[in-house]
Amino acid sequence: MLGKKHFGLTLVASILIMHYMPIDAGEIMWTFDQEATQWEAANGIWEVRDGVYYQDQRWGEAIHSLVGSTTWSDYTLDGKVRIHEGNWGGIVFRAQDEFQYYVYLVCPKEKKSELWIHKTGGALSRQAIDEEIEAVNVELKRNVWLNFQVQVKGSRIKLSINGELQAEFIDDTYEQGKVGVWAWDTLASFDDVRISGEGISVLTSVRPRQHLSLTWSRLKLP
């Protein structure tokens, strides 16, 4: 029979495992309720405030922050994007590194969205897959949350905003990679970034459901 001390340690371990589980197998979500310690900013000024991830540099080309694994391949990426000042903000997918990636972005000023490939050589080393995607059943505005979704499977890319399909493309430039958030000469904020797919592995301390201090305070050993 386990003694009281050993029973208490076992219970603590069980509680800690429970509180640091992902939302589901093959799914990770960043709510930014705490610091964005897993995210790596390539440039710009990034800060978590009131549960939101902010990019606070007004001028700057291809400002972005990345997270995840370069081995992630087929997945669905969701994220909330809000443009405060400027014209271009969006989400990054299948990023090889800070220079090579896809970015899906909106331009509220021109009421359109765009899909680009960025390549090694700096911010201007890029190629448009389509820079004139007219908005379909969605109003693209500043200072409102837009719910982005990108689905990638093999070479197929499916793009949606607020649940409305905007466009589909075939491109095999990058077959796998990290995810991220992005802005160009724009103040923007981001929230509730979620990735799901069969090959998505758990990262350390993702979306803890409670602070450790709360877990300990509720444990009372005789």
How confident is the model over 163-208, as pLDDT tens digits? 999 999 999 999 999 999 999 999 999 999 999 999 897 764 444 3
Contacts by residues 33-38 (CB-CB < 8 Å, ≥ 24 positions apart): 33/207, 34/208, 36/65, 36/67, 37/205, 38/67, 38/203, 38/204, 38/205, 38/206
pLDDT of residue 218: 28
The class level of CATH for 26-206 reads: mainly beta
pLDDT of residue 199: 84
pLDDT of residue 63: 98
Instruction: Break the chain into its structural domains and give their ranges.
Output: 1-22+207-222, 26-206
Extract the residue ranges of the chain whose pLDDT is less than 50: 1-23, 204-222
